[in-house]
Chain A
Amino acid sequence: MTAHTDAAGAVFVIDDDPSVRRALERQLRTAGFRVETFASAQDYVARAPQAAIACIVTDVRMPGMSGLDLQASLAQAGCALPMVFITGHGDIPTTVRAMKGGAIDFLSKPFAEREILAAVAEALERSRELDRAREDAKGLRARFQALTPREREVLALVAAGLPNKIIADRLGVAEATIKVHRGRVMEKMGAASLPDLVRMSERLGLEIGADPARR
């Protein structure tokens, strides 16, 4: 049994049945997870719990908003978390829908402890990956923001694969000046190499081949 620290992430348990809620809370908590319980999907939406790394364990069939509705609504709002579904009567169409919506696992009640713990661990791992990606993107954007307008133009043209001479022509400056800009862009963006810089520009969604000078 892996020990989990609080920093390992939060598990949001949603089930309308108090017994199941209590038992799951205890099971996950004593296994080392930080657990918050909700009696309904609406309750979850209303409280909108925050955690950098988190996952949801939810019942499928509940009065009001179902687990699948919640999955769809969170995806739409752009605050999707990895989800583990638990159900009293799993049917294939529901399972398929949940899995297509990105569910980590779909467990039929009653389920064994190793199943739920494995599913939750996987869901948190997914959350961690997403968080890392989010952090990376955030840093990248900050670094890009630190560039001067001319450096951004140079970045776009370099990423498009143009040689310094052409970039200089386009921007109407000396080739030597472009070399200086280019060195500063690499340094500010923290790029180790030209391909690294190209990947960054792709992640930033810069228009490759665009002509910033003519904008």
Chain B
Amino acid sequence: MDSRLPSVMIDPARAVPAHDSASIGDLLAFERLLAELSAGFVNLSAASVDDAITDALRRIVALLDVDRANLIGFAPRTGESYLTHSWTVEAFAQAAPRPVSGDFPWAMQRLQSGRPIVFTRLGELPAEAATDAATWRRVGVKSNLTVPMTVGGRIEGAIALAAFRREHHWPEELVSRLGILAEVFGNALAYKRAREALDAATSFERLLSEMLAALLTTDRAEDRDRVIEAGLRDMGQILGADGATLWERVEDRQAFRKTHRWVASSLWVPPDWADGSVLPWIVTEVAGGAVVRFSGISDLPPEAQADVPALRSIGVRSMMVVPLTVSGAVVRALCFATASEERDFPEALIPRVKLLGEVLASVLARDESHRRELEARAQAAHAARVGAMGAFAASLAHELTQPLAANLANAETGVRLLAAPEPDLDELRATLADIVADERRAVDLVQKLRRFLRRGEVERGELDVRDVLEEVLQLVAREAQARSVRLRLETAQALPKVIGDRVQLQQVVLNLLSNAIDAVAAGDGTAREVAVLAGRCDNGVRVEVQDSGVGMDGQTLARIFQTFFTTKPNGMGLGLSISRTIVEAHGGTLSAQSAPGKGSTFRIELPRSAS
């Protein structure tokens, strides 16, 4: 039986001669029926409640010789009435014009205040019941007895008996007995609802374990999508929704976007977007972590009125949106909606829906992190190349140390030999020959490095200078902080792109930055700052690395780009020399300005890319 038909209280009938008052025998028989039904409903399973009620209505109709018995429910919030069960004698079983609850204003008010409606003929109705009387007349009701149905002290509906063929007298005892019967029905229905909620909860738990198993065994994203869509279908069906949608939060604006969906039929498809501009209240609530739930548009609170036009145009009648939180943030939401009818999504199921949804969201977040991992791996490959250059430089430094150490030893030996009264010329000759050989060896190594820098490993591409600089600043940020040196990056808007090898240019900037940090750290200046400034220059982009460090005198400045010239105790004298090689290989220039105590500025100029 469809329990969701629009309100019907009484169906049409033809006029039939009045019936005599119910006899004592009738009452006794009703008493027996009542006792029998009360006993029978006690051990009833939830599944047979509906049939038992309909059967009871049939027996009441037969026993009392009336034409129709209806069980009516009142919607919890709106108070609107709807037919839950009905039995009509065969002669009147035909469909007839359906009255709506607005057609019985007096009767509804009376029932909801707990009073019965009893009339043998329409003429007994008071003047204020004129609308109701007109409706009854129109549908052909001659006599009517309607008693409120109380469940746990609350009026949840009514049981109505109607006579179409003839007028019917309703003894007072019948009115009270019918009230008791209504309560029996009400309790049975409450039990059935509780039972169904429990079943739904159990179904959810089963669904959760099934989905978990399915998700754990699927690795491919498309398989996972199928599992999620099946999960939405199952949840939607358990909840009686017309559509179930998994939304993801759109980061840069107040909105949610569909990622997965199930629809009961193609007749109604929920929209792909829930945008804050058309559904401000819902989106704000859900984004803030609150559940949105309404069984009818009229249930929405006043602050949600801005959403009503959009909901109406979409065709939503009932809705439940559960925010899904992963690592403390609302990243997704599950939305269940109906368009065909109003539905009360049970509050008790929200925690389960949330749990299931969050399992889905976590799985999807894992996919997302997998994608991010791939990106990170690409970045790591880039970093590895930078590292490889570093390792190459380190091994080269070690190799270079050998001839340099040998040369220093030989040179100092030579000086000492010459100081002797009679210098050993053979020894001196051998010493100088060794020095020449080792010098050649050192030069070869440096050329090897230069070749490495110019080799195919060079990856040229169009570069955004700002990106290049930001990455390098990140690299040295920790070291700078540890040495109490502040780093500042200033770049002009819309710098032209340059063509070059990202890694090599980063090596250059890295080298200049480390030198600058060393210079600042060595000084006692109060302005412990290194500034990296990027802007336009005549033919492209200029990058300046400025430090407020110890600075250099003119003599030092003149030599800093020479290979093996260094002022650092452990320096190799290679950094600036190689840096200049790299910049020149890019068609640019690297120059320096400095004054002792005033700091230094190194300036790179790179030509803009032709495009």
Interface residues of A (CB under 8 A from B): 1, 17, 19-20, 22-24, 26-27, 30-31, 61, 86, 88-89, 108-113, 116
Contact = CB atoms under 8 A, between A and B. Distances in A.
A27 B405 CA distance: 12
5 contacts: A19-B437, A23-B413, A109-B405, A110-B405, A111-B408
Contacts of A108: 570
Contacts of A27: 409-410, 412-413
Interface in B318-352: none
Nearest to B415: A113
Contacts of B403: 19
Contacts of B424: 30
Contact of B402 (A1, A17, A26, A31): A17
B80 interface: no
B416 A1 contact: yes
Nearest to A90: B570
Given A1-B416, A27-B412, A30-B417, A22 B397 contact: no
B402 to A, nearest CB: 4
Contacts of B397: 88-89
Contacts of A109: 401-402, 404-405
A113 B404 contact: no
B208 to A, nearest CB: 54
Interface string B412-431: 11001100000010010011
B427 A30 contact: yes
A210 to B, nearest CB: 56
Contacts of A110: 401, 404-405, 407-409
Interface in B370-406: 394, 397-398, 401-406
B434 A113 contact: no
A86 B408 CA distance: 14
Contacts of A86: 405
Contacts of A17: 402, 406
A27 B417 CA distance: 10
Contacts of B410: 23, 26-27
Contacts of A23: 405-407, 409-410, 413, 434, 438
Contacts of A26: 409-410, 413, 427, 430-431, 434
A112 B412 contact: yes
A24 B438 CA distance: 14
A30 B402 contact: no
B412 A88 contact: no
A116 B412 CA distance: 11
Most buried by B among A23, A88, A89, A109: A23
B192 interface: no
Contact of A19 (B394, B406, B430): B406
Contacts of B408: 110-113
A108 B417 CA distance: 24
A17 to B, nearest CB: 4
A116 B408 CA distance: 12
A44 B298 CA distance: 97
A19 B430 CA distance: 12
B405 A111 contact: yes
Nearest to A108: B570
